[in-house]
Amino acid sequence: MVHLKCGRYNLDLKSKTHLMGILNITPDSFYDGGKYSSLSQAEKRAIQIEEDGADIIDIGGVSTRPGSQAPDEEEETKRVIPVIKKIIKEINIPISIDTYRAEVAKKALDLGVSIINDVTALNGDAKMAKVVAEYNVPIILMHMKGKPSKMQETPYYENVIQEISQFFKARIDFSVARGIKEENILIDPGIGFGKRLKDNLDIIRELKKFTIFKKPIVLGVSRKSFIGKVLDLPPEKRLFGTAASVTAAIMKGADILRVHDIAEMSQVIKITDAILKKKKEDTGH
């Protein structure tokens, strides 16, 4: 049984596949950039995300779309902290902060945020590991080849699964050596982060291979470019491609799916879980 303690919340990851709803407070994210840049829009969206069936809300102030340039720390703080202050008492599910900066994470944790989602897997800020260990919170370690500004220029792997596995082993060892508890570590293979179409498809197809780490697997497939390449469709028309990818990911062992379309993917997850008998009443727990 995998229980993920997130502040006052306790997520039972074996009872069902969990849904992480994306709330981007950015002007330049690939799908919803600029949609929730005002405080009232962000607040309304956060409430909607919970109502639509999300188990976690993931708030980010830095776009990581290919080619993007990160804002400075002050700008990132200005984007996310007022939103967290506004919604923390209104939301009854854990809030995750999507950041690689220790100071932004610390401010968010002080307000009651209970998960850190670090796309650099603690490589981006030397102080982040200390913050995670001190606050005793779950950390999502994501694999990314290169930086967002250049990661899609010439990504190449001899064996993508092997390379990501080696990366996870190194980052898990690094985390534990710095006082982060094993039960607080989650892994994310980083779909679209320095990956070719073939790599993204291989990651989903071979996802079960990452279960050797005995860590919850987080996956973000929502409306990503690999879906666009297969279907030849823009982001706004990738809902069904996302649904198919989410289904495949669950069948291959994903524990948490990070998505934009909460209501729709909540239905997809419930049906897939029911077919796989991944439910409380079926497991006896």
77 vs 242: CA distance, rounded Å: 30
- Active-site amino acid positions: 224, 258
Pairing of strands 218-219, 185-188: unpaired
CA gyration radius for the chain? 17
Q: How many CA atoms within 13 Å lie on the side-chain side of 139?
A: 36
195 vs 98: CA distance, rounded Å: 20
29 vs 222: CA distance, rounded Å: 13
